A and B are shown apart, each in its own frame.
Chain A
Amino acid sequence: MNPTEREKIERLMRSDRQERPPDDLLVRLREDLPDQAKIPDPDKRERESYFGRPSVWLTAASLAMLFTFTFMLSRITFLDQSTEPDIVTILEQQRRATKISQSAADETPVGAAARRRPADELEPQASTPEATLESAPATAVVADPQPQSPPARVSVVEEKTREERSESAAIGESRESSAVAAAPPPPAAAGAPLARSVSRPAVVRKARLAEEISLPAELRVVFTVDASGRVVEVSVQSQPGLPRREEVESILGQWTFEPGRPGSFELLVQSSDLQPLPG
């Protein structure tokens, strides 16, 4: 519709004639006016209608829910930040840091030499009487965390008696089914802590338990060894249905570690990594 047509429609709809209503109309209307022509209070109605609108209540409810959700979320975040990091997190961080520092050290000739040295030094150390299985039933097997560097592990295996070698063959000791125990780091490796592992059959054997009481994969045991090599404190994190805390404590309570190297250690079944706790 062009402007001309619009103007024409406007002119047709708006009459120029000033029509006047009949004279008696106002009289008739006044006669009909009731004595009480009271309308409801418009201000009150407006307030009521405003709070009576569903959209108002829906908006208020949505805001309340949003506020509650935000508050709860902030509380959860606060609690999460306020709690101390668990021991597993600390150990994991330390393990990563160790790997990073080791890999950095490997890039230099000096670092590579230092990396080879602990394995070389372990052999004579493991051959000492304290490191034998008889004198220390749960002597830790010190192994290089790198899968391609097994010398430390081999050296300890050689320390086993012939009888134990036959036991190991009967039990079917294997690298895949290894549980992890810990021992303090050797002096040579104090600067660059190494992960330590011991095979699960050896753990079972030294605990003088049947193999069917094997430790589950999800089990995490943190235990503390005193200066005499005795396990003095055990902390177990296991899922329901797995071996009870008392069972694990009884297993570890029979162990004796190399004396003179107290500390706290974590036992991770099947992970083959065991890290000493800081401090």
Chain B
Amino acid sequence: MDQSASAPPDAAEKELMRRMAAGDRDAAERMLESTYEQIWRALYRMTGDRDQAADLTQDAYRKAWQSIASFDGRSLFSTWLYRIAYTTFLNSLRRPRLVEPLSEETERTATSPDMAADQTVLEHERERRTRAAVMELPDELRFVITAHYWGGLPISEIARAAGITAMGVRKRLRRAQNTLATVLGDLR
């Protein structure tokens, strides 16, 4: 899945940003509609829980609106939102969870009723192990690889968000892929 497809193109997003700077609330709503699915999908890949991802998405947007004055405009608004969502997710890992997620069996049934049972089990097992391996990565590698694959951000935007060069982002991606290939070598 190319998750960047759901993100607004740069030109359209910049136009929305200009309108938001002018105080256009409708533009802010358009920005919300065009970005929330991308944010939720990234958080879902991080958490593996639909509802928790939705809660974290809501938290992330609340934080964004509260600190919107600190948006410096150096990156796209969606990049800034992703960074907030990623931080929100990391913070959630340090907090005790108030709501227990559904059991894996229930979740599988709820999310993929049409999938064959074996395929569903295999798919979820791959996702779980992949997620666990990504979470074990050092933070600088984890942010880059999750922003690239799960957040759907282009390399240039990841570089701005991480404060490094595009070449630095590619190097980190390669290192992260090498580590994941070692850890997930037995997966098909």
Which residues of chain A have a CB within 8 Å of any CB of chain B?
1, 5-6, 8-10, 12-22, 25-26, 28-30, 32-43, 45-46, 49
Contacts and interface: CB of A to CB of B under 8 A. Distances in A.
Interface of B: 1-3, 14, 17-18, 20-23, 25, 28-29, 32-33, 36-37, 40-41, 44-45, 50-51, 53-54, 57-58, 61-62, 65, 68-69, 71-74, 77, 111-112, 123, 126-127, 130, 134, 145, 149-150, 174, 177-178, 180-181, 184-185, 187-188
Nearest to B39: A21
B99 to A, nearest CB: 14
Contact of B18 (A6, A32, A42): A42
Nearest to B62: A32
14 contacts: A1-B178, A9-B180, A12-B126, A15-B45, A20-B37, A22-B50, A29-B32, A32-B58, A33-B29, A33-B32, A36-B23, A37-B20, A37-B68, A40-B21
Contacts of A25: 36, 40, 54, 57-58
A38 B32 contact: no
A10 B149 CA distance: 8
A5 B51 CA distance: 32
Contacts of B1: 14-18
A26 B33 contact: yes
Contacts of B187: 8, 12
Contacts of B28: 33, 37
Summarize B's interface: helix, strand, loop or mixed.
helix
A46 B73 contact: yes
A46 B149 CA distance: 28
B142 to A, nearest CB: 12
B51 to A, nearest CB: 7
A21 B77 contact: no
Contact of A37 (B58, B65, B174): B65
A34 B62 CA distance: 9
Contacts of A37: 20, 25, 28, 65, 68
Given A19-B44, A45-B73, A35 B25 contact: yes
Contact of A40 (B71, B178, B188): B71
